[in-house]
Amino acid sequence: MLNVIRTILIAGTAMLFAAGGPVVAQQKGAPIKLGLIDIYSGGFAFIADTIRTGFQIAIDEANAAGGLNGRQFQLVTADMGPSVEKAVTEGRRMILEEKIKFVTVGIHSGAAVAVGNLGKEHKALIVGGFATTKRLTAEAGHPYVARANLSTVEIGRVMAERLKTMPDIKRVSLISPDYEYGQHFAADFVTAIKVTRPDIIIVRQEWPKLGAADFGAHVTALQAQPTDMIVAGVFGADLVNFLKAGRDFGLLKGKMQLFIHGADLAKLGAMKDSLPEGTLTTVWYPFYAIDNPRSKAFAAEVEKRMKTYATGPAPVGYTAGRMIIEAIKKAGSDDVDKVRDQLGNVQFEGPTGLIKVRGCDNTALYNFYVGNIKRDAKFPDGIGVENVKTFNTESVVRSCVEILRVRGG
Answer whether residue 221 is part of any domain: yes
Answer whether residue 115 is part of any domain: yes
SS (H, E, C) the chain: CCCCEEEEECCEEEEECCCCEEEEECCCCCCEEEEEEECCCHHHHHHHHHHHHHHHHHHHHHHHCCCECCECEEEEEEECCCCHHHHHHHHHHHHHCCCCCEEEECCCHHHHHHHHHHHHHHCCEEEECCCCCCCCCCCCCCCCEEECCCCHHHHHHHHHHHHCCCCCCCEEEEECCCCHHHHHHHHHHHHHHHHHCCCCEEEEEECCCCCCCCCHHHHHHHCCCCCCEEEECCCHHHHHHHHHHHHHCCCCCCCCEEEECCHHHCCHHHHCCCCCCCCEEEECCCHHHCCCHHHHHHHHHHHHHHCCCCCCHHHHHHHHHHHHHHHHHHHCCCCHHHHHHHHHHCEEEECCEEEEEECCCCEEECEEEEEEEEECCCCHHHEEEEEEEEEEHHHCCCCHHHHHHHCCC
Q: Which amino acid is at 408?
A: G
Over 80: is that where the pLDDT of 158 sits? yes
Answer whether residue 297 is part of any domain: yes
Helices 293-306, 45-64: axis angle to 10 degrees equals 120
Q: Do 233 and 271 sit in the same domain of this protein?
A: yes
Asked if residues 215 and 239 have their Cβ atoms less than 8 Å apart, the reply is no
Q: Do 243 and 381 sit in the same domain of this protein?
A: yes
Answer whether residue 61 is part of any domain: yes
Q: Do 161 and 142 sit in the same domain of this protein?
A: no
Answer whether residue 409 is part of any domain: no
Q: Do 188 and 299 sit in the same domain of this protein?
A: no
Q: Residue 137 sits in which domain range?
A: 5-150+291-366
Answer whether residue 275 is part of any domain: yes
CA 32 to chain CA centroid, nearest Å:
24
Half-sphere exposure of 306 (CA within 13 A, CB side): 25
Tell me the per-residue pLDDT of 263-281, one tens digit each, with 9 for 90 and over.
998 888 888 888 899 999 9
Q: Do 244 and 389 sit in the same domain of this protein?
A: yes
Tell me the per-residue pLDDT of 300-314, one tens digit each, with 9 for 90 and over.
999 999 999 999 999
Indicate left, alpha or beta for 258 from its phi (over 0: left) and psi (-120 to 50: alpha): beta
Closest alpha carbon to 103 in 76, 85, 121, 84: 76
- pTM of the full predicted structure? 0.91
Strand-strand pairing, 102-105 and 73-79? unpaired
Burial class (CB in 10 A: 0-12, 13-18, 19+), 219: buried
Higher pLDDT, 359 or 12: 359
Closest alpha carbon to 288 in 307, 273, 305, 303: 303
For the chain, how big is the Rg over CA atoms in Å? 21
Tell me the per-residue pLDDT of 66-83, one tens digit each, with 9 for 90 and over.
999 999 999 999 999 989
Tell me the per-residue pLDDT of 163-178, one tens digit each, with 9 for 90 and over.
999 999 999 999 999 9
Tell me the per-residue pLDDT of 194-231, one tens digit each, with 9 for 90 and over.
999 999 999 999 999 988 999 999 999 999 999 999 99
> What is the spatial distance between Cα 228 and Cα 237, in angstroms, rounded to a whole number?
25
The rounded percent of the chain whose pLDDT value lies above 70 is 93
Q: Do 210 and 138 sit in the same domain of this protein?
A: no
Higher pLDDT, 59 or 20: 59
Number of domains in the chain: 2
130-140: average pLDDT: 95
Q: Do 241 and 374 sit in the same domain of this protein?
A: yes
pLDDT of amino acid 51: 98
Q: Do 353 and 372 sit in the same domain of this protein?
A: no
CB atoms near residue 214 (< 10 Å): 10
Mean pLDDT of the chain: 92
Asked if residues 16 and 59 have their Cβ atoms less than 8 Å apart, the reply is no
Q: Which amino acid is at 78?
A: A
Q: Do 241 and 383 sit in the same domain of this protein?
A: yes
Residues sharing a CB contact under 8 Å with residue 388, sequence separation 6 or more, in sequence order: 283, 286, 289, 369, 370, 371
> What is the spatial distance between Cα 207 and Cα 321, in angstroms, rounded to a whole number?
33
Asked if residues 72 and 10 have their Cβ atoms less than 8 Å apart, the reply is yes
> What is the spatial distance between Cα 181 and Cα 340, in angstroms, rounded to a whole number?
26
Answer whether residue 335 is part of any domain: yes
Over 60: is that where the pLDDT of 241 sits? yes
Burial class (CB in 10 A: 0-12, 13-18, 19+), 286: buried
pLDDT of amino acid 240: 86
Strand-strand pairing, 257-260 and 280-283? parallel
Residues sharing a CB contact under 8 Å with residue 211, sequence separation 6 or more, in sequence order: 43, 237, 238
Q: Do 164 and 115 sit in the same domain of this protein?
A: no
Q: Do 246 and 377 sit in the same domain of this protein?
A: yes
Q: Do 21 and 103 sit in the same domain of this protein?
A: yes
Q: Which amino acid is at 12?
A: G
**CATH value at residue 81:** 3.40.50.2300
Answer whether residue 329 is part of any domain: yes
